């Protein structure tokens, strides 16, 4: 029997209507549109209303993905949602979405690996499908990062936004996920933190708002890590798949900073036209960036059936992940 592959059969995404522009941020912290665009590439981001949570955005994206296929929620075997901003600690977001979809036959769990989350979840889905254990898996990246953002800290508050993207994977003998690669550097985890239960005076001292929930980041350390791992994780996963950078039709990277993408493009030796970018519209939505960008690239005709696509993410943990997909 041929090894089974996880094939994309449908995708969908959700973005809140509310837009937070660089001009809005100029009113909130000591920053400028010019600085934000030059240092990050971001012009605006979407912010969920106060009564909209990660599970709502995940549900809207999942519902659209399902509507783009001929499968029903009851057909799903598994739901994996990648998020670092769950509505609650329990139940997890996947169970909340399972209930709302009526996906009564699906197992459901969340994955927490920040901006790498969608790739981690896709890797797990691919393993379940490759072994024949499950046939239809819903994978979602969904984040309500605005709730974790310190809007008094200009070093981070200009970066983040909210959104969700979802894909349904089905077992296929032909096309689909060719290889995945995931990794972690826990020692570097101190460079990107949000405390939750943990009491830590030194961590609190770094936070402008003195709020445990908010995110703190050593931006320049994470930036160096990000360029390095985006390049390495792309080369590693291509090697696993027996491909070279010349075989790639499109790279869909995590959208953290345009300078990370530009730096990696140079080192990868790939034409920048083959790297999908939408950071200017949405900023960094952690695990939601890659699935939303992949949906948009398909919508815009930049990715077509038969194309070889690399997805690559990096972030909190620190973690990284990459995947090669034959569309």
54 HSE (CA, 13 A, CB side): 29
Q: Which of 208, 268, 211 is nearest to 236 (CA)?
A: 268
Q: Does 228 bind ligand UT7 (CB under 6 A)?
A: no
We find the least distance from the C-beta atom of residue 67 to ligand UT7, in angstroms, to be 29
Which residue, 69 or 278, has its beta carbon nearer to ligand UT7? 278
Question: Cβ 15 to ligand UT7, closest distance in Å?
Answer: 18
Pick the closest to residue 113 from 124, 127, 102 (CA basis): 124
Give the whole-angstrom CA distance, residue 160 versus residue 142.
13
Give the number of other CB atoms < 10 A from CB of residue 295.
23
Buried b (16+ CB within 10 A) or exposed e, 90-120: eebbbbbbbebbebeebbbebbbbbbbbbbb
Nearest residue to 158 via CA among 19, 36, 15: 36
By CB under 6 A, name the one of 180, 257, 308, 319 that touches ligand UT7: 257
Span interacting with ligand UT7, options 123-131, 175-183, 220-228, 232-240, rule CB under 6 A: 220-228
Pair of tokens at residue 39: 């240092």
Rounded to whole angstroms, what are the CA distances from 271 to 63, 89, 268, 274? 35, 43, 9, 6
Residue 149 binds to ligand UT7 (criterion: CB under 6 A)? no
State yes or no: residue 39 binds ligand UT7 (CB under 6 A): yes
Q: Does 152 bind ligand UT7 (CB under 6 A)?
A: no
Nearest approach in angstroms of CB 31 to ligand UT7 is 3
Binding mask 91-130 for ligand UT7 (x = CB under 6 A): ------------------------x---------------
Minimum distance of ligand UT7 from residue 148's CB (angstroms): 12
Q: In sequence order, what are the beta bridge partners of 323?
A: 180, 311
- As a whole number of angstroms, the distance between CA 32 and CA 139 comes to 37
Closest distance between ligand UT7 and the C-beta of residue 40, in Å? 5
* Stretch touching ligand UT7 by CB under 6 A, among 78-86, 102-110, 124-132, 256-264: 256-264
31 is a site residue for ligand UT7 (CB under 6 A): yes
Q: Tell me how crowded residue 34 is: count the other CB atoms within 10 A of its CB.
A: 10
The yes or no reply on residue 43 touching ligand UT7 (CB under 6 A) is no
Q: To the nearest whole angstrom, how small is the minimum distance from the Cβ of residue 113 to ligand UT7?
A: 11
Which residues have a catalytic role annotated?
Answer: 115, 254, 284
Contact 130, 95 (CB under 8 A): no
The contact pattern for ligand UT7, residues 260-279, with x = CB under 6 A and - = no contact, is x-------------------
Which spans of this chain sit near ligand UT7 (rule: CB under 6 A)? Answer: 31, 35-36, 39-40, 115, 154-155, 158, 219-220, 222-223, 226, 256-257, 260, 284, 315
């Amino acid at each position: 029997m041929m090894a089974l592959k996880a094939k994309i059969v449908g995708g969908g995404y959700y973005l809140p209507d509310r837009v937070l522009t660089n001009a809005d941020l100029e009113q909130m912290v000591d920053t400028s549109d010019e600085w934000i665009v030059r240092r990050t590439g971001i012009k605006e981001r979407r912010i969920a209303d106060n009564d909209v949570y990660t599970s709502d955005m995940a549900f809207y994206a999942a519902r659209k993905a399902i509507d783009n296929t001929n499968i029903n929620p009851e057909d799903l075997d598994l739901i994996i949602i990648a998020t670092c901003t769950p509505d609650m600690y329990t139940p997890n977001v996947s169970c909340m979405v399972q209930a709302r979809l009526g996906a009564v036959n699906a197992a459901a769990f969340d994955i927490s690996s920040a901006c790498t989350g969608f790739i981690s979840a896709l890797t797990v889905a691919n393993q379940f499908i490759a072994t024949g254990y499950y046939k239809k898996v819903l994978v979602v990246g969904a984040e309500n990062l605005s709730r974790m953002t310190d809007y008094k800290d200009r070093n981070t508050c200009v970066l983040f936004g909210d959104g969700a993207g979802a894909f349904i994977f089905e077992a296929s003998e032909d096309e689909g996920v060719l290889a995945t690669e995931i990794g972690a550097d826990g020692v570097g985890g101190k460079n990107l933190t949000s405390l939750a239960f943990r009491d830590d005076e030194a961590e609190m001292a770094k936070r402008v708002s003195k709020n445990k929930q908010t995110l703190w980041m050593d931006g320049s350390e994470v930036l160096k890590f990000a360029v390095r791992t985006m390049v390495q994780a792309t080369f590693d996963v291509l090697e696993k798949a027996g491909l070279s950078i010349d075989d790639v039709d499109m790279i869909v990277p995590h959208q953290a900073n345009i300078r990370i993408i530009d730096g990696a493009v140079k080192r990868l030796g790939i034409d920048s036209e083959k790297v999908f970018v939408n950071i200017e519209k949405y900023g960094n939505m952690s695990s939601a960036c890659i699935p939303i960008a992949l949906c948009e690239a398909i919508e815009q005709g930049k990715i077509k059936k038969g194309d070889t696509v690399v997805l690559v993410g990096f972030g909190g943990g620190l973690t990284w992940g990459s995947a090669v997909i034959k569309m």
